[in-house]
Amino acid sequence: MSFRIVLLALILVFATGCSTIKGWFGDSKGKALEPAELTDIASPIAVDRAWSLNLGDGREKLGLRQKVAVEGERLYVSNDDGQVLAINAGTGDVIWDSQAVKTGKTGNRLLFWRRKTIEAGLSGGPGVGNGLVVVGGRNGEVIAFDAETGAERWKAASTSEVIATPLVAGGLVVVRSNDGRTFGFDAADGTRKWVFDRGLPNLSVRGNGTPVAGGELVYLGYDDGSVIALRLADGLLAWEQLVAEPDGRNDLERMADVDGELQLGLSELYATSFRGQTVAISTTNGEPMWNRDIGGYGGLALLADRVVLADPAGTVWALDRNTGSALWKQEALARRWLTSPAVQGNYIVVGDIEGYLHWIRADDGVIVGRDRIENSAILGTPQVSASGTLFAITAEGKLAAYPQPQ
């Protein structure tokens, strides 16, 4: 695994008019970007891996934040070979694959015929709901499968690569494409119901956050540093709010992406920006309730009394939900390019660029557990099932399951 290649994929996307960046990794200064060395944990908790499964290679250099979708006792996951799999969450056994052709096992590695569901490869992780599993591809294609059987239900097309996980809600499938457009497709047959179009800056972090539904609205973060609320029924703009001002002398300085997971409370929405701002926004009118000069390229995790995020330096922060004041910070994971946090019981879990998962106590920020899935970056947010099991995927396609530590 090349740390330098993945780091570039995380920082930059393919920008018009962007000059070559020289000297980032070719001299002694590059060593300052290497991940902080991990130290022994004084009193570690027992972190047990229940099972793992190799899903296929080919994602690492794409910088995709792949993650599983969890529904009940099943996981749904896609790979860059154009396949969608349904997996038993308890055992790791494959229930169905979207090819419906031939499946075999050799040890712990799956073998499939190479007829692809989407020839250009799948980019965003699957979205699940209303009996559907929906995926998007690098060619803009959108495919819906029957969640029970894996049979293809319909196909539709967006106008660009689909990086974000589709949202299934309110009888619609909401798909964010990489050119700034968001589509509302009928969940029954894939008919396009509406499209919302918004321009993009020249340079942005690679990745789009998953749309979030709340009541009659759907919320999205954008590369210009804003959060918008669309009416789910027709895609019309209800309100927008700036999280971070994209100012600066050049495109790199103006990067203010809101790309990670948004979190929805009872009447407030939480968002964080690559530019270093985190905001609580009223869902009623889009007005900010508080803002804090701490932010990240990833998303947020939401607990009863706090929100948790990782900033670009690798510091993990817990902020009070009501005021935004810092409750604690954990700085031992510097420069490890952490994922958005996940909540597993009393622990916060983040993945890093070297394939490690780190368990952090939610009440005080102390690191208490660690496990390495493999020597490959974890880019997508770990997901936790209703039973408390955590699932994470590396950039080379290894999926691992961890029961909740006791």
In the prediction, which pLDDT does 254 show?
A: 46
Higher pLDDT, 18 or 72: 72
6 pLDDT more than 50: no
Q: What is the mean pLDDT of the chain?
A: 82
In the prediction, which pLDDT does 57 show?
A: 58
In the prediction, which pLDDT does 71 show?
A: 95
In a domain, 235, yes or no: no
In the prediction, which pLDDT does 65 show?
A: 67
18 pLDDT more than 90: no
Taken in order 342, 64, 352, 68, the sign of the CA dihedral is: positive
> Tokens 């009070």 map to which residue?
320
Q: What is the pLDDT confidence band of residue 307, given thresholds at 50, 70 and 90?
A: very high
330 pLDDT more than 60: yes
Q: What is the pLDDT confidence band of residue 213, given thresholds at 50, 70 and 90?
A: very high
CB 399 within 8 A of CB 66: no
Higher pLDDT, 272 or 90: 90
**Structure-token pair, residue 151:** 């049979």
For the chain, what percent of residues have pLDDT higher than 90? 61
In a domain, 146, yes or no: no
In a domain, 27, yes or no: yes
16 pLDDT more than 50: no
DSSP per-residue string spanning 314-382: S-EEEEETTT--EEEEE-TTTTS-PPPPEEETTEEEEE-TTSEEEEEETTT--EEEEEE--SS---SPP
In the prediction, which pLDDT does 204 show?
A: 43
CA dist., res. 68 & res. 399, Å (int): 9
- Which domain does 347 fall in, by range? 1-52+308-386+400-406
Phi/psi for 238 (5° steps) reads -95, -45
In the prediction, which pLDDT does 100 show?
A: 47
In the prediction, which pLDDT does 226 show?
A: 85
Q: What is the pLDDT confidence band of residue 354, given thresholds at 50, 70 and 90?
A: very high
> Domain containing 375 — which CATH number?
2.40.10.480
In the prediction, which pLDDT does 13 show?
A: 36
In the prediction, which pLDDT does 388 show?
A: 96
CA dist., res. 163 & res. 8, Å (int): 17
Q: Considering the entire predicted model, what is its pTM?
A: 0.85
268 pLDDT more than 60: yes
Range in 72-81, 116-125, 183-192, 312-321 with the lowest mean pLDDT: 116-125
In a domain, 123, yes or no: no
In a domain, 21, yes or no: yes
In the prediction, which pLDDT does 115 show?
A: 35
* Structural domains in the chain (count): 1
CA dist., res. 233 & res. 225, Å (int): 25
Structure confidence by residue, pLDDT tens digits, 113-153? 333 444 445 666 899 999 999 999 888 899 999 999 999 99
In a domain, 313, yes or no: yes
In a domain, 404, yes or no: yes
25 pLDDT more than 50: no
In the prediction, which pLDDT does 29 show?
A: 53
Higher pLDDT, 330 or 10: 330
For the chain, what percent of residues have pLDDT higher than 70? 77
Which range in 14-28, 133-147, 193-207 is most confidently predicted, on average pLDDT? 133-147
In a domain, 393, yes or no: no
189 pLDDT more than 90: yes
Q: What is the pLDDT confidence band of residue 406, given thresholds at 50, 70 and 90?
A: confident
CB 392 within 8 A of CB 382: yes
Structure confidence by residue, pLDDT tens digits, 391-402? 999 998 899 999
